[in-house]
Amino acid sequence: MIPYGEVIHDHSRHPRNVGSLDAPDIRREGYNPFCGDRVRIELALAPDGTVRDARFQGDLCVIAKAAASVLTELVIGLPIEGARDLPEERLLEALRAEIQPARRKCALLAFETLQSGIKESGR
């Protein structure tokens, strides 16, 4: 049996866009004090403000890692405003799994970290 479904299984075992960028335009670290998971997420922007690349790295559980990986795929190619205004439901839907309320914060760790990083950058 695959807990949480295919997408989370796949992205937790084979996470996309792991690592760091040479010169990110946005970089933010996030921490979930309830579980101790940590994430760093970075974006590089094209001159027109499109998200050119994204990376994440962290000490993450299965759900948080898969969600960070899916998030990077969702935001690459979006205008920065689109990444900033991405509804959290869009990420939760993309995970295609029933996330228990107690794990929702885990699934949204990278998302909330990215939102903070974009807001902090003033974009």
Residues that bind ligand FES (CB under 6 A): 32, 35, 37, 60-61, 64, 106, 109
CB-wise, 20 or 100, nearer to ligand FES? Answer: 100
Residue 104's CB: how many other CB atoms inside 10 A?
Answer: 12
CB-wise, 91 or 109, nearer to ligand FES? Answer: 109
Cβ(88)–Cβ(115) under 8 Å?
no
Q: How far is the CB of 105 from ligand FES (least distance, A)?
A: 6
Q: How far is the CB of 34 from ligand FES (least distance, A)?
A: 6
Q: How far is the CB of 40 from ligand FES (least distance, A)?
A: 14
Give the side-chain half-sphere CA count within 13 A for 4: 23
Q: What is the C-alpha to C-alpha distance for residues 65 and 71, in angstroms, rounded to an integer? A: 10
**Checking DSSP bridges between strand 51-59 and strand 26-31, what pairing results, if any?**
unpaired
CB-wise, 18 or 35, nearer to ligand FES? Answer: 35
Q: What is the C-alpha to C-alpha distance for residues 113 and 121, in angstroms, rounded to an integer? A: 12
CB-wise, 12 or 25, nearer to ligand FES? Answer: 12
Q: How far is the CB of 77 from ligand FES (least distance, A)?
A: 26
